[in-house]
Amino acid sequence: MAKTITIAPVTRIEGHAKVTINLDDAGNVADTYVNVVELRGFEKFCVGRPVEELPRIVTSICGVCPWSHHLASAKANDAIFGVEPPPTGRKLRELCNAVAFTEEHILHFFFLAGPDYVMGPDADYSIRNVLGILQADRELGRRVVRARHLGSRMLGILSGKSIHPVTAVPGGFSKPLAERDRDRLASMAQEVLDFAKFAIGYAKEEIFPNYAEEIRDLGTIETGFLGTVAEDGSLDLYDGRLRLMKPDGTAEDFAYDQYDDVIVEHVEPWSYLKFPYIRAWGEFSMDIDRPVGIYRTNTLARLNVADRISTPLAQAELEAYRKAFGRPVQQTLRYNHARLIELLYNAELAVQLLEDPAITGRDTRVPVTPRAARGVGCVEAPRGTLIHDYQTDDEGMVTDVNLIVGTTHNNAPINMSVNQAAKRLISAGVYDETILNKIEMAIRAYDPCLSCATHNLDGTIALTVKIVARDGGTIANLSNVGPLRERNEEEARPR
């Protein structure tokens, strides 16, 4: 009998999603869909407001990466007003971006994706979470927590508040950095760098070798890649040109305010979230054997498109990574490895910026005057390329807003990776919770932020699997903890 398997919500990703796996009459995977929730009406909400308010408002879109939205919005404002921040203002923004990245990447690797690796994908759900890590290795847990606290405290010193920042303003940065604070930050940044060095060494020695097969195969698909590079082709997370790489590794660069000439959006009737694809590559297709127009963003993509990394330790890691896995790397679970190289880069960058005498300059912003204009701001967010595109009237009031967030770029690839993983792992109707968790691992590798509107507490959310017959009747409910599991133990048994 044909069945539908539903995984909802996907655990330990930001926001929530529902995965539906349709089996055919033989019990093999026919189709898969990843449905996500999105914040609706944000563009309409912004219209009619002063554009300089948006850097403050957009931080409420998402409690997970508020700095990325804040900085992309500030850059869009710079473009609207036709100004460039002074060097100190720009460096302070870059410093905040680098520190926020370290905090986010530590969170993802150790709290969200890490439990799958540290505890193992087949470990009991009750310990396959951050508490499991803490109990298994208290010293590791203590180091992770301290490193995250350091990042949070640094952002607090730099901007006054780390949750909903307000310090990036049109034309620069509102608050100069005092010498005394710079000294405090420098020692904290050095400690974060020490942790980053430890983290990548730990992962390379203790984690990745144990999962070589999963990393090579799970969710692996062939796509193009998009990311930001500096003028010299090196990795840049704050500013630069967008580089688009084809699956064969050839690449071309374009200015980020031309994104809508290159990227178009496909719509599927089963998802609110759109599917961006590359116009010049042909008619959109998510066929995993013959995809058309599909590209990926986020860490894997950024390391693929960058020619080099400007900081020495991260560059050495990139060289070793390329030697082992080539360029471009298509293994989806390598997102996690790439994430740790980026952690190292950001930690090094923070140290470098704090050693720069210009970081304590007093000239942090330039004045701005309202005008009618279009302004595009683009940064690399932890979850992918983030684009804010605004238009204003001659009084500087917003007339149009368009946002493309990192996870939206990866919508099609996430669906394809789930499809690939499900087809590889499920056959003749046989599946169990470990297999379903492995499918989720493919999603988690992308570190998706599926709903900027929610504040649910992942890591302890149950996994629910519904098996539905073609006539719509529920055949069984599977879950990973608590009463549902007991109630459906018989049905949960692998068949």
Q: How many residues bind other proteins (CB under 8 A)?
A: 55
The tokens of 424 are what? 């590889």
Q: Does 19 participate in binding other proteins (rule CB under 8 A)?
A: no
Return d(Cα 143, Cα 373) in angstroms, integer: 47
Query: Of 245-304, which residues contact other proteins (CB under 8 A)?
Result: none
Q: Which of 22, 136, 137, 164 binds other proteins (CB under 8 A)?
A: 164
Return d(Cα 72, Cα 402) in angstroms, integer: 12
Q: Does 9 participate in binding other proteins (rule CB under 8 A)?
A: yes
Instruction: Give the distance between the most distant pair of CA atoms in the chain.
Output: 71
Of 40-48, 71-79, 289-297, 425-433: span binding other proteins (CB under 8 A): 40-48
Q: Does 480 participate in binding other proteins (rule CB under 8 A)?
A: yes
- Nearest 5°: CA angle at 196, between 119 and 222? 65
- Which residues are paired to 168 by β-bridges? 173
Identify the CA nearest to 415 among candidates 263, 305, 273, 303: 273
Return d(Cα 372, Cα 393) in angstroms, integer: 4
Q: Does 180 participate in binding other proteins (rule CB under 8 A)?
A: no
Q: Does 178 participate in binding other proteins (rule CB under 8 A)?
A: no
How near is the Cβ of 18 to other proteins at its closest, in Å? 9
Q: Does 212 participate in binding other proteins (rule CB under 8 A)?
A: no
How near is the Cβ of 419 to other proteins at its closest, in Å? 23
Return d(Cα 273, Cα 166) in angstroms, integer: 28
Q: Does 150 participate in binding other proteins (rule CB under 8 A)?
A: yes
The tokens of 194 are what? 């020490």
Q: Does 56 participate in binding other proteins (rule CB under 8 A)?
A: no
**How many CA atoms, within 13 angstroms, populate the side-chain half-sphere of residue 478?**
22
Identity of the residue, 161 or 495, whose beta carbon is nearer to other proteins in the bound complex:
161
Q: Does 166 participate in binding other proteins (rule CB under 8 A)?
A: no
Q: Which of 3, 4, 13, 16 binds other proteins (CB under 8 A)?
A: 16
The tokens of 70 are what? 């804040």
Residue where the block lists tokens 């149950």: 462
Identity of the residue, 16 or 438, whose beta carbon is nearer to other proteins in the bound complex:
16
How far CA 349 is from CA of 81, 154, 416, 419, 468, in Å, comes to 29, 14, 34, 37, 51
Q: Does 83 participate in binding other proteins (rule CB under 8 A)?
A: no
What are the helix (H) ranges across 119-177?
130-136, 138-159
Q: Which of 57, 123, 166, 397 binds other proteins (CB under 8 A)?
A: 57
Q: Does 163 participate in binding other proteins (rule CB under 8 A)?
A: yes
Q: List % helix, strand, coil for the chain (3-state, nearest 5).
A: 45, 20, 35
How near is the Cβ of 70 to other proteins at its closest, in Å? 13
Q: Which of 457, 471, 473, 493 binds other proteins (CB under 8 A)?
A: 457
The tokens of 139 are what? 């010293």
Q: Which of 123, 127, 134, 373 binds other proteins (CB under 8 A)?
A: 134
**CB of 157 closer than 8 Å to CB of 184:** yes
How near is the Cβ of 174 to other proteins at its closest, in Å? 19
Structure letter (DSSP) for residue 156: H
Which residue ranges make up the site for other proteins (CB under 8 A)? Answer: 8-9, 16, 39-42, 44-45, 57, 59-64, 66, 107, 111, 130-131, 134, 141-142, 144-146, 148-150, 152-153, 163-164, 188, 452-462, 464, 466, 479-485
